[in-house]
Amino acid sequence: MKCVSRYVFFLLRWKNYWIRGVLSLAMISGFFLIIYMGPVALILIVMTVQIKCFHEIITIGYRVYRSYELPWFRTLSWYFLICVNYFFYGETVADYFGALVQREEPLQFLARYHRFISFALYLAGFCMFVLSLVKKHYRLQFYMFAWTHVTLLIVVTQSHLVIQNLFEGMIWFIVPISIVICNDIMAYLFGFFFGRTPLIKLSPKKTWEGFIGGFFSTVVFGFILAYLLAQFQYFVCPVGFNSETNGFTVECEPSDIFVMQEYTLPAAVQNSLNWKNVNLYPFQIHSIFLSSFASLIGPFGGFFASGFKRAFKIKDFASTIPGHGGIMDRFDCQYLMATFVHVYIASFIRGPNPSKVLQQLLMLQPEQQLSIFHTLHSHLRELGVRGQKNIYI
């Protein structure tokens, strides 16, 4: 009987691995297809994932606190989701679609009063919540109010950062997501074949061998992927909006971090490899920091999710993907990674953006634009800036 039980357990285990492997390949193939379809498809998939993750977390709250009997609350949760998305996507439209906003009068009104409208929408939901309070359910209703807002913070805010990263260039979207996937796969494989030492109690199956093996594999993978993608304008150029074609464009003169440069190796490396110089894209160096974060800190997003599930005695957030659980089970590390990439770009990469400054100028009154023109004209003359024919401006 023991031999039969072990045999059955072995078959079930490998069946689960087979299902996970096939679906993983299917999801990776789908990811490449969406990249091929361009920025619009990527934005739509981010929105879809965001809505599904929100649904999974909110549903857990409904089940755990038996809040399905509370008046208005399911409606209010989705209402707050719509309000927050209206605020974030409105900010994105104002930042990146200035030409379109200037051309359409209704959009000018919405852009000018966007934050006031967003706040008014939120206040309406807040007042509806207060009016829905029932004496015997006060504590439960405030639990769920807090639950909804924390879910919005975790899911919607970080989804917005994913889209902000995408507009900086698709490489800032593809590389972070790919290295998190790589780390997840390689940590699993190293842990499966070599794992002996438990890493953390929250996730008993995680091992130090998997953690370390995943780190080195991810750094190498990220370095190679950065080299491959940095060669193509389609991936490195910021995503812009062309008012003439009413579509997205990814054409530009690549910035310095996507231009091949020569670096002198340290003396110790020169002696051991007999190389003095090496040609790299600066983005490859940045990829090492991104991969290190994805491997060393990113897994803590997964540990956080594991602790959350243990707290509420559930195995997965949902059963959307056979063998994988819910969408949130696959994106717990991705959201933390997206936040880091956004902070990294703002701190070490992004400089002044002339296109955004121009968009802001175009929204001013003609008198204000003329005043700025004269001020800038005087400033450039003081600096001795010459025009194309060596004539002072």
On average, the pLDDT of the chain sits at 85
What's the pLDDT score for residue 18? 66
Model confidence pLDDT, tens digit, residues 362-381: 767 888 888 988 898 888 88
328 versus 320: the higher-pLDDT residue is 328
Greatest mean pLDDT range, 24-28, 349-353, 364-368: 364-368
What is the rounded distance in angstroms from the CA atom of residue 114 to the CA atom of residue 83? Answer: 12
Taking the CB of residue 127, how many other CB atoms lie within 10 A of it?
A: 10
Report residue 391's pLDDT band, with 50, 70 and 90 as the boundaries. Answer: very low
Residues 6+ apart with CB under 8 A from 42: 34, 35, 166, 170, 173
pLDDT for position 393? 47
Helices (H), 133-207: 138-151, 158-167, 171-194
Query: Rounded to two decimals, what is the model's pTM?
Result: 0.85
In sequence order, the β-bridge partners of residue 263 are 278
Give the model confidence (pLDDT) of 87-111 as tens digits: 999 888 877 776 677 777 787 888 8
How would DSSP label each residue in 351-393?
---HHHHHHHHHTS-HHHHHHHHHHHHHHHHHHT-B-TTS-B-
What is the percent of the chain with per-residue pLDDT over 90, rounded to a whole number?
41
Report the DSSP pairing between strands 198-200 and 247-249.
Answer: unpaired
Predicted local distance difference test score (pLDDT) of residue 392: 45
**Could you tell me which of 235, 249, 234 has the C-alpha nearest to residue 100?**
249
pLDDT at 187 (0 to 100): 93
Strand-pairing partners, residue 241, are 248
pLDDT classification of 387: cutoffs 50, 70, 90: low
Neighbours of 128 (CB within 10 A): 14
Residue 233 reports pLDDT greater than 60:
yes
Residue 254 forms beta bridges with which residues? none
Out of 51-60, 214-223, 229-238, 245-254, least confident range: 245-254
pLDDT digits 0-9 by tens, 271-327: 887 788 889 999 999 999 999 999 999 999 989 998 888 888 888 888 777 766 788
pLDDT single digits (tens) 178-227: 999 999 989 988 998 898 899 888 888 889 999 999 999 999 999 999 99
Predicted local confidence at residue 265, as pLDDT: 82
Cβ contact 150:77 at 8 Å: no
